[in-house]
Amino acid sequence: MDNKPFSTVEGKGFLQLMKEVCPLYKVPCRETIKNRIDEKYEAMSDLFKTYIKNADNYCITYDIWTETMQTKSFVGITIHFLDKSQLLSGTLGVFELTEHHTSLYITEKLTDIFSEWNISIEKVSAVITDNDSTVMKVNRDMFGEKKIIPCFAHTINLVVTKSIDDANNCTELISKVRDIVKYIKKSVNASDELWKRQMETGSKGQVKKIILDVRTRWNSCLYMLERFLELVSIVGAILLTRPEAPPMVSSSELECVKEMVGLLRPFEKVTKEISGDSYVTVSKVIPLISCVRDAVENMKPRNEIIVQFKNEIKKQLARRFDNIEHSAILAISTTLDPRFKFMQVFGHTPLLRTFSVEEKLINKINK
């Protein structure tokens, strides 16, 4: 349950704890614990295979990644289906890939895994993956074009990262903030001073650390900028006393950062909304895109740099989502979702603009 290694049961501290709690109990060795877990897994997996076999349809998601420390590649697969009216989800496993990631090899690997879990390709109603070209070819070959749903969160990530990359001035500004963050994180003295100055200003119990972004997670860039804005006065004071520190952002650049954060926040809300695992999310894709477009359109940045950034975002949204209502799965899911029978509000933007959107979806479905 806590994802501890098997060797925990042989640790001196754990054995001492068990001796105090239950002196007469003999703690099993790591091999015994491992065998018991394997037996439990076999029993649970057999039960889950029965659920899968009895399901009328299911949705498959999978992703491929490389573990950089050991340079090993893996594919992780999950399955989602209804048992009567209850939504069930399960991780089929994480499997190592030992050959070059060709579409043929990935198809063979998935076929073997599906066979092991009694998964019928005909019962797969949808498959969700990232937008990688090789993965998309696998999806088309195995499931057919109409069953493919590109991962919405991954596509949103591409919209934001590509917009930042194409807006050169924004990239430079983010790099400037990133250099400052890196400097403070690497400097023990600067980090200590950041902590002390927060304590002096009455932030006891609420001392905050600077955040460094991660390239593959666009929202980490937002978190970095938001935290930088929160601590900007203290960070500026720290940099002024250190000649070797990177240059501080100017007041006009600071205004750009604030406006940039305002443009990115709607994407963060959408990413969190679509990341639920205990409720249906596919029907929210079209309404959420409508929300994002409205939110971006309603923002009126004053700085030319952010105006360019806004235009890049609009361009990427159009490129990746202009035909989203043509997806039968998404359109039907949204139209039939009872949550959208009445208007709901996402911030100040209607989740569906008007009933005419539903009419439009129905017309497209009929066509």
Please report, for the domain that includes residue 71, its CATH number: 3.30.420.40
Claim to verify: residue 329 and residue 243 sit in the same structural domain: no
pLDDT at 363: 57
Residue 68 lies in a domain: yes
What distance in Å separates the CA atoms of residue 247 and residue 179, rounded to the nearest whole number? 9
CA 184 and chain centroid, separation:
27
Determine the structural domain holding residue 21 and report its residue range. 1-40
Claim to verify: residue 213 and residue 235 sit in the same structural domain: yes
pLDDT at 200: 84
298: Cβ contacts below 8 Å, ≥ 6 apart? 349
pTM for this one?
0.78
What is the total residue count of the chain?
367
**Which of the listed residues 246, 263, 280 is the one where a domain comes to its end?**
263
**Which of the listed residues 119, 150, 181 is the one where a domain comes to its end?**
150
Residue 291 lies in a domain: yes
The encoded tokens of residue 194 equal 């950041």
What distance in Å separates the CA atoms of residue 241 and residue 332, rounded to the nearest whole number? 60
Residue 336 lies in a domain: yes
Claim to verify: residue 240 and residue 205 sit in the same structural domain: yes
pLDDT at 354: 38
What DSSP designation does 96 have? Answer: E
The encoded tokens of residue 26 equal 């003999």
Residue 60 lies in a domain: yes
pLDDT digits over 150-203, tens only? 999 889 989 999 999 998 889 999 999 999 999 999 999 999 999 998 888 776
Consecutive sets of 10 residues in the chain, 367 residues long: mean pLDDT of each? Answer: 90 95 94 94 93 93 87 92 87 91 93 93 93 92 92 91 89 93 93 89 77 84 94 92 91 94 92 82 89 91 92 94 88 84 45 45 53
How many domains in the chain?
4
pLDDT at 345: 40
Claim to verify: residue 213 and residue 258 sit in the same structural domain: yes
Claim to verify: residue 140 and residue 64 sit in the same structural domain: yes
